[in-house]
Each structure stands twice: as structure tokens, then as C-alpha cells.
Structure 1
Amino acid sequence: MEIYQIRAFVTVARLGHLTRAAEALHLTQPAVTAQIKALEQSLGVSLFQRSGGKLSLDKAGESLLPTAEALLKLGSELKAQATQLHGQLQGQFELGIPSERMDFLRLGPFTQAITNSLPLVHLHTRVLPAEQLSEYVSTGRLTAAFAIAAHPPRDVQWLPLRSVVYRIAVPNGLHEQLQAANWRELAALPWLDGPSGSHSHWLLRDMFEKRGQSPRIVMQIDDLANIDSLVMAKTGCALLREEVALEGFKRQAFSLWGNVRVNATLGFAYPSETEAQPLLIAVISLLKQLWKIDD
């Protein structure tokens, strides 16, 4: 059963004449006849009584006509809605994100803004280390990405969103012996690290390399959003985002070493060659509204 067959049925039923129906449908009379016969075969009932070139509805036709008219109306509404939506932005948006807490990335409000403003856009997120986020964006495997970095990544466009500060968190019980410790002694402690290429990995290595040291890594963790729980469990020391570090310190879940602050930036990376694409422009506009960034 096809919509054009239903349209032929309704038109003939309304006009009661095959020739006039063919003219109204801009078809030949044999074509209309073929459509009606095909619909009857599909439904398994006879819709018309034929007499001298005129067609009149039989009982089955009279019974099915209201439903057929309703289907045509729904078809018209569907087409009108599609026409209205035509030209709206649509497609898949592949978004990379670092291993971080969703509230810090404001991913919930960002997703809601896309859903409300761009209803035809399907958002798909992938959690990856910073190095891969940059590479995947530059090669087109990601449409864009949130990333944390000490310096803007190369080969991509970079929209800074906010500054990020990291503090050194140490398990309770080590703080007293570390008050007068130097960087060599600090590096000798057990340390928790992110995966190779992650923002945590690069920030930690850079912090120690500037002091001529290398940290003793006892565990690499993919889930950086919850690394503070391992410091609380006395597994090792770690760089924690300042908000998380101060919250844990206030609860006496762990201690903070010194006043060292490691600075980085949370930004939005996207390919240079696609920055003029309407979808990306629309998403960046929503992002700027969310983070209150002026052009």
C-alpha cells in the first residue's frame, strides 16, 4: 500500500468520475485505474462499483474512506512539518571530552542547549586523553572537543573557556613528614598518574621536570574524574583540581602540600578547516552563551 494509491482512492471517491480524477491527479486514466486496483489487491476488498465510466463507493469503500482521508491529512502534516524543518541544522556531532566531572565541563547544560536549539543534531561523546583529543580533532575524527592543557594545542582552533588550577594532594599521615621536604623527597613518594597523553600526565611530568625530578608512579588511572578517592584511600599523591583539592582538604580527607599551583586552561578545540560550517558556528555560539564569553 502506497500513499499515492490512497490519494487516488480518495480523489476518485470525492469526484465520482475516473476521468476527472485522472485530470486532478495529473495522471492518465489507465494509471489511476491501475493504482485503484493495486490498492484493492493490497487491502483484499473492492472499493468501488463500476458502471459506465463512473465509479461509486461500495460498502467497503464507504467504510475505509474516512481512514484514507485521515491518512492523507497526516501525510500533509508530515510534509508541512518536514518543510518547516528543512534548512535547520542536523547531523551527528562527535564531541571529545577529557576524563573529568561532568559538572566541571558543564556538559549537562551544554547538551540541553543543543537539544533545545538544535533538535536535529545528535550528540555523541567520547572520553579520551588530551593528546588524542587534539589529534582526533585535527584529523576530523572528532567534530570538536573539550580539553585541558597548559598551552593551546597545535593544529586546531582553540577557544579558552576558563582557567584551571591544580594542587598537590597527599594522603593523610604523610603531611607532617613532608612539611620540610624538598622536591626530590616529594618525587620519591608514591604518585598517581593519568594515562599517557592525558592532561594529568603532562601537567605532573612538567611540574617535576622543571625541578629536575621524575615522580615515582605507582598507578596509572583512566578515571581521572575520581582520582581524589584514591588519594583518600592513601594509595598515593596526585595533582587535583583546586576546587576538588580544597573540598577534600576541608573534609580532612587528605592534605595539601605547600602552595604550589599548576596552571592550565579548559578550552574548546575544533578544526580550522570546519570553523565556517553552520553547525559548528551554532554550537560555538551556544557554548559562548553558556560560558558567558564575549566575541
Structure 2
Amino acid sequence: MEIYQIRAFVTVARVGNLTRAAQALNLTQPAVTAQIKALEQSLGVALFDRSAGKFALAKAGATLLPTAEAVLALGTQLKSEALKLQGELHGTVELGIPSEQVDFLRLGELASSVTRSLPLIELQTQVLPTTQLVEYVCTGRLSAALTIAAYPPRDVQWMPLRSITYRIVLPNAMAEHLKLGGWPELAMLPWLDGPHGSHIHLLLRELFERHGLTPRVVMNSADQANMDALVRAGAGCALVREEVALAGAQRQDFLVWGHARIDASLGFITSTENAAQPILVALISMLKEIWNIDNLMEKIVA
């Protein structure tokens, strides 16, 4: 039994797909399959059900998965303790972030703190939709991520940083369309959306689904940090952070529609396996100072 075989088992179980698991492990599918077969032979039980062409977690696999995850976590802890003995932290931190203004994310402050306190650490950021951020953290393709979500993501450790309220804004020229209208009329106006799985896309869908409606999307923009500029130009309606929406309305750049709102949170996520890494522990400490949050570690929700 080898640690890499256990990692292959846990990754396939988490992702639920052999192809994506192979990508996360940077291996071929046959190599992942071979590692799992070798582990099954070593354990004497079938971890996955391969009947009818499927690759689903078997009963024995589901029973052993928590133990396998604990073994990986202990392996990470062992490496972390060894690294402490080597002296200063060094390496690369792959940090996922949502499409948002860097000032709002306080990314500059985090980068400055890393440069000052961890000079041997290189911080690399990657902008991705929320669902992909969570998946990449779970599979180890990202060290950690800042995410915006209505609810704490599952299967990761979630540390809330601040609450966010989103409001509906629409171009000034569209005000006439809603003088006597409500949600059905609002849904028929042109809407600006984010990519599938992004925080804007998920929040927009949830907001309209409450009323049994779907917005008429005319544009999907990967740049969700500047939705207000698109609305100001008359491209369509959008969800915008409340402080941005109210400031824009005060300048008469666009209109804020009624009192409709949807709440979300900005949080920091890590995988359970990697949460004990000294680099991530250091990042959490920095975030505590940056966001002025007391007892930050106690706010981590598994």
C-alpha cells in the first residue's frame, strides 16, 4: 500500500469522475485505474463498483474513505512538521479568486503581507468561477481560494471574511418598462450574466427561481468585476454589489430596482487535507489581520 495509491482513491471518490481525477493528479486514466486496482488488491476489497461501465464508490470504498482522507491529512501534517524543521517557508501558493475588484478582495494587502512576512513564497492567482474554485481546492489544483457564495461550500473548510449584498441595477433608459411591472416584466428585460458556475450566475438564478422565473440573458461576461460599467452603457440589467449600486444610482449612472436583494459571503477555503500546511496557516493569520476579524480560526466551518 502506497500513499499515492490512497491519494488516487480519495481523488476519484471526491471528484466522482475518473477523467477529472486523472487531470487533477496529472496522470493518465490507465495509471489512476492501475493505482486503484493495486490498492484494492492490497486491501482485499473492491473500492469502486465497475458494473455497467460505471465507476461508482462501492460500499467498502465509502466505509474506508474517511480513514483514507485521515491518512492523507496525517501525511500532510508530517510534511508540514518536517518543513518547520527546515527553517523559513518557501514555495508557491496557488490562490484562486473570483472575478471581482482587487480592492474589494483586499488582494493587494494580502500580496503585500506575503511579500513582507514570507519573502520566499511566490503567490500566484487564478480567476475562476465559484464551482471551479471549490473543485480545484478539493482536488489540490489550488492551494486555497477566495470565494463568493450564498452558502458555505461543501467538502472544504470555509472561513467567512465579510457579508455581501447584491442589488438589481438597470439602465436609465429601461425605467419606463418597469413603471407598472414586477418580476415577470423584469425577467423579460435584457440581462447580463456571468459564466456558468460563477457567483453572479448562481446568485442571479437563485433570485429569479424564488419567483419561478428565468432572466432573459443577452450577454455572458467573464469580467464580473465591471458589470456596473456595462449597465451604465445600456447593455442590460445586472446584479451589482450594494455599495457599487447605490453609489452609481446617486451619480445617476443607472437605477436600482426596488428593494430586491440577495445576500452572499466572501470566504477563504482550503481542503481538509491541506489545512494544516504552515503556508496556509500563515495566510489565515494574515487574513485575520487584514480583515480585522477576531478569533478567525474559530470561524472555520468544516
Q: TM-score w.r.t. structure 1 length?
A: 0.70
Written as runs of structure 1 = structure 2, the 5 A alignment for 1:20-169 is 87-169=87-169
Identity %: 59
Number of residue pairs matched? 211
For 1:215, the aligned partner's letter is P
- Please give the residue correspondences for 1:212-231 in structure 2 after superposition, counting only pairs within 5 Å: 212-231=212-231
How far did 1:86 drift?
5.0
Partner of 2:187: 187
Q: Determine the structure 2 residue equivalent to 1:170.
A: 170
Deviation of 1:247 (Å): 1.4
Deviation at 1:276, TM superposition (A): 1.2
> Residues 67-111 of structure 1, C-alpha deviation per residue, up to 9 Å, x if partnerless?
xxxxxxxxxxxxxxxxxx951111100000000000000000110
Aligned to 1:260, what secondary structure does the other structure show? strand
- What is the CA–CA distance in structure 2 between the aligned matches of 1:211 and 1:141, rounded to whole Å? 37
What do the CA deviations read for 1:189-234 (whole angstroms, capped 9, x no partner)?
Answer: 0000000000000000000001000000000000011111110111
Aligned position for 2:200: 200
1:244 is the counterpart of 2:244 = yes
Q: Which amino acid is the alignment partner of residue 143 of structure 1? A: S
Whether the aligned pair in 2 keeps the contact of 1:179 and 1:257 (CA below 8 Å) is no
| Runs of 5+ consecutive residues of structure 1 not aligned to the other structure | 1-84
Alpha-carbon distance in structure 2 between the residues aligned to 1:179 and 1:153: 38
The structural deviation recorded for 1:178 is 1.2
How far apart are residue 277 of structure 1 and its match? Answer: 1.3
Task: Tell me the secondary structure at the aligned position of residue 249 of structure 1.
Answer: helix
The one-letter code sitting in structure 1 at the alignment partner of 2:198 is S
RMSD value, Cα: 1.1
1:211 aligns with 2:236: no
- Partners of 1:131 and 1:172 in 2: CA distance: 33
Paired residue secondary structure (2:290): helix
Structure scoring higher RCO (CA < 8 A, sep ≥ 6) equals 2
Letter in 2 for 1:128: L
Runs of 4+ with >2 A deviation: none
Which 5+ residue runs of structure 2 have no aligned equivalent? 1-84, 296-302
Which whole-Å deviations, capped at 9, do the CAs of 1:9-37 have from their partners, x for residues lacking one? xxxxxxxxxxxxxxxxxxxxxxxxxxxxx
Hey, what's the Cα distance between the residues in 1 that align with 2:155 and 2:273? 10
Q: Measure, in 2, the Cα distance between the counterparts of 1:121 and 1:178.
A: 52
Q: Which letter maps to 1:114?
A: V
Distance 2:149 2:193 in 1: 16
Give the letter for the 2:291 counterpart: W
2:283 is the alignment partner of 1:287: no
Give the TM-score normalised by the residue count of structure 2: 0.69
